[in-house]
Amino acid sequence: MLHIIGKCMILMGATVLGLQHAAGLRHRVSCLKEFLTALERLERELAFALLPVDVLLCQMQAGTRGAAHRFFSSCEERFCKRGEERLEEIWSEEMQKIPLPLCEEDRTLLQEIGSILGRYDGDSQQLAFQRIHSRLEESIQKAKEESERMGKVYCVLGITVGMFCVILV
Amino acid sequence: MEASICFIEIEEKAKLLPSSLRPLVIELGRDRCRTMEELRLREGQALSYVVAGRECTPSEWRDHIVTPRDISWVLEAAGHGSIHAVLEQFKHGFLSVEGGHRIGICGSVAMKQGEMINFRSISSLSIRFCHEVLGIAEPIFPELIEKGRLQNTLIFSPPGGGKTTLLRDLIRCVSDGVGLEPLRVGVADERGELCGMYQGRAQRNVGKCTDIIDGCPKAQALLMLLRGMNPQVLAADEITAPEDLRAAEEIAGCGVTILATAHGAEPEDVHLRPIYRELLRREIFRRFIWIRIEKGIRKYQILQKEEMGGLCYIS
C-alpha cells in the first residue's frame, strides 16, 4: 500500500513540476501584458498632459495587477521619498528585487523605460516609448507562442518523467 | 490689520537642498534663516545666501563647496525628476517649486535656429524664496477705489522691489472683500510666483473668490479667464509683451478691472518703454502704485492718472 502511495506521489510531483514550468511561461506572458498596459497608459498621459513622473508612476500602478503592480508601487514609494536616487537607479534595483516572472531579455527591454522616463522632452520620450511598445508587443507574441508550444511539452514531460520514475522504482 | 509677515520655516527652505548642504541651513538657526531671501549655489564656490539684498557666506559654510552633483540634485528634486513637465519653464531660465519659490538657472545654453532649447551645463542656481506679507495692501487699498469701484491699477518698481508681494495681497483684499464687497478675481500666474500653485492648490493666501491659471502665457491665460470664468477683476504679474497689452485692452473694454505690475525704477521709466507708453496713451490704468526703497524702508506712492497721490510709509 505504502509502495503505491509513494509511486503516486512521485508521479504527482513530476507532473506538478511540469505544470509549474508551463504556468511560469503563462505568467511571463501575462506579466509582459501588464507592463504593456502600463506603457500604453504612460504614452497616453504623456501625450495628453505631460504629467510629472510621480503621478505617472501612480497611474501605472493603478492600472496593473500582480507582480507589475507591486513593481510600480515599490518604484513610486521610493521615488516619492525624494532621496538621492534617480528613477533609473530605483527602476533597475526594483526590477531585480521584485520577483517578476520575466527572463533577462524582458528585463533589459523594460529597463529602457526607466532610463528614458522623465529624462527628455515629451516628444522624444513618446518616440522612444513607441519603439519600446513595438518591441514589447513582439516579445509578448514570442512568449505566447513559446507558452503554447512548450507549455504542452512541459506538461507531457512531467507526466512522462513521473511515469518513468514510477516504473524504475 | 497690521501687516504680518508669514515666515517660511527653516525646514521648507532646507528641503530644497541636497543632504550634503541641508545641515548648513538648519544649523544657521531659525532667526537668521527667516530673513533669508535667496540661496545661491555656484559650482566650485561655497554656498551663500542673500539678506536685505546683500549676499553673504558664513564662515562655517566656506569649506562646503557646491558640486555639479549638488546642482543636479536641486534641479531633479525641483522638477520631480520630470524634465518634460517643466521644460518650458527651464527654457526660460527658471523653475517654480512648491511654496511659490523660484529657482533661477544659469549656465551654457544650447540653441537651435536662434531659439534656446535647453541648458548644456548648469553653473549656478538662485533659489528665491517667496515671502507672503498679509495686510500690506490694506492701507493703500482705499486709494484704488473711486465711486465705489476698484480702478485699473499698475504697480511698478525695480526688480526685487516687492511688486509681486503687493499684488498678491491686493488680490486677497479684492477677493475677500476688504473695504469692498468680495469680487471674483482671475489670476494669470504664468510663473507660479503669485499664488504658488502646487498639485492644484494655491500655496499662498490669494482670497476665497480667486481662480487661477498657472504655467500659461499671460495674454492667453487672461483671455481664457475672461471668456470662461466671468471674472470681475483680472490680475497678472509683469506685463512685458505686446500681446499682454492687447489682452489688457480687451479686458478694459469689457468692463473688467485689471491689476498688473511692471518694471520701472521711476514714473519716467514707464513713459520711456514703448509698451507702457502705449498703456498710458490708451488710458487703460487709472491708478499707479510706485514702490521704492529709501534707507531700507519700502514706500508706496499712489499716482492717479491725472494727479499725484499721497505718500504712504510701510516698513
User: What's the CA gap between A85 and A77, in Å, rounded?
Assistant: 12
pLDDT at B313 over 60: no
pLDDT at B308 over 60: no
Q: Is A55 helix (H, G, I), strand (E, B) or coil?
A: helix
Q: Which residue range(s) make up the domain with A31?
A: 2-168
Tell me whether B54 touches chain A (CB under 8 Å): no
Same-domain pairing of B119 and B145: no
Same-domain pairing of B169 and B32: no
Same-domain pairing of B119 and B212: no
What the block records as the C-alpha cell of B247 is 489682452
Mean pLDDT for the stretch of residues B53-57: 88
Residue B306: which pLDDT band, with cuts at 50, 70 and 90?
low
- Rounded to a whole number, what is the distance in Å from the CA of B235 to chain A's nearest CA? 25
Same-domain pairing of B28 and B50: yes
Same-domain pairing of B147 and B86: no
Type of residue numbered A72: F
Inter-chain CB proximity A86 and B84 less than 8 Å:
no
Inter-chain CB proximity B82 and A118 less than 8 Å:
yes
CATH number at residue B120: 3.30.450
User: Measured in Å, how far apart are chain B's first and last C-alpha atoms?
Assistant: 15
What mean pLDDT is reported for chain B? 87
| Sole residue written with cell 491686493 | B170
Residues 6+ away with beta carbon under 8 Å from B159: B263
pLDDT at B252 over 60: yes
Query: Quick one: pLDDT at residue B4?
Result: 65
- Indicate the residue of A52, A82, A86 with minimum beta-carbon distance to B85: A52
**What b-and-e string marks burial along A83-93, b requiring 16 or more CB atoms within 10 Å of the CB?**
eebbbbebbbe
Q: Which of left, alpha, beta for B270 (phi over 0: left; psi -120 to 50: alpha)?
A: alpha
On whether the CB atoms of residues A57 and A77 are closer than 8 A, the answer is no
How many domains is chain A partitioned into structurally?
Answer: 1
Same-domain pairing of B102 and B54: yes
Chain B, nearest residue to A46 by Cα? B84
Same-domain pairing of B151 and B264: yes
Mean pLDDT for the stretch of residues B130-158: 90
On whether the CB atoms of residues B184 and B230 are closer than 8 A, the answer is yes
Query: Quick one: pLDDT at residue B8?
Result: 63
* Per-residue pLDDT tens digits for A112-122: 999 999 999 99
- Rounded to a whole number, what is the distance in Å from the CA of B16 to chain A's nearest CA? 10
**Exposure on the CB side of residue B67, measured as CA atoms within 13 A:** 9
Inter-chain CB proximity A86 and B87 less than 8 Å:
no
Q: Which residue range(s) make up the domain with B307?
A: 134-313
Residue B151: which pLDDT band, with cuts at 50, 70 and 90?
very high
Same-domain pairing of B224 and B287: yes
Q: Which of A160-169, B88-97, B263-272, B286-295 is the least confident region? A: B263-272
Mean pLDDT for the stretch of residues B40-69: 92
∠ CA(A6), CA(A12), CA(A15), 5° rounding?
145
Chain B, nearest residue to A123 by Cα? B84
On whether the CB atoms of residues B170 and B153 are closer than 8 A, the answer is yes
* Per-residue pLDDT tens digits for A20-76: 888 999 999 999 999 999 999 999 999 999 999 999 999 999 989 999 999 999 999
Q: Is B251 helix (H, G, I), strand (E, B) or coil?
A: helix
Inter-chain CB proximity A86 and B81 less than 8 Å:
yes
Chain A neighbors of B84, CB-CB under 8 A = 46, 50, 118, 120-122, 125
How many domains is chain B partitioned into structurally?
Answer: 2
- Rounded to a whole number, what is the distance in Å from the CA of B47 to chain A's nearest CA? 19
Chain B neighbors of A57, CB-CB under 8 A = none
Same-domain pairing of B103 and B205: no
User: What's the CA gap between B300 and B303, in Å, rounded?
Assistant: 10
| Domain end point (choices B128, B148, B170) | B128
- Indicate the residue of B81, B83, B85 with minimum beta-carbon distance to A51: B85
What the block records as the C-alpha cell of B36 is 533669508
Eight-class DSSP state of B151: P
Tell me whether B82 touches chain A (CB under 8 Å): yes
Same-domain pairing of B156 and B278: yes
Inter-chain CB proximity B82 and A52 less than 8 Å:
yes
| Alpha-carbon dihedral angle through residues A56, A61, A64, A70, given to the nearest 10 degrees | 140
Type of residue numbered B314: I
Same-domain pairing of B111 and B227: no
| Domain end point (choices B111, B128, B145) | B128
What the block records as the C-alpha cell of B251 is 479686458
Q: What is the pTM of this model?
A: 0.78
User: What's the CA gap between A155 and A117, in Å, rounded?
Assistant: 40
| Domain end point (choices B66, B96, B128) | B128
Same-domain pairing of B85 and B169: no
CATH number at residue B301: 3.40.50.300
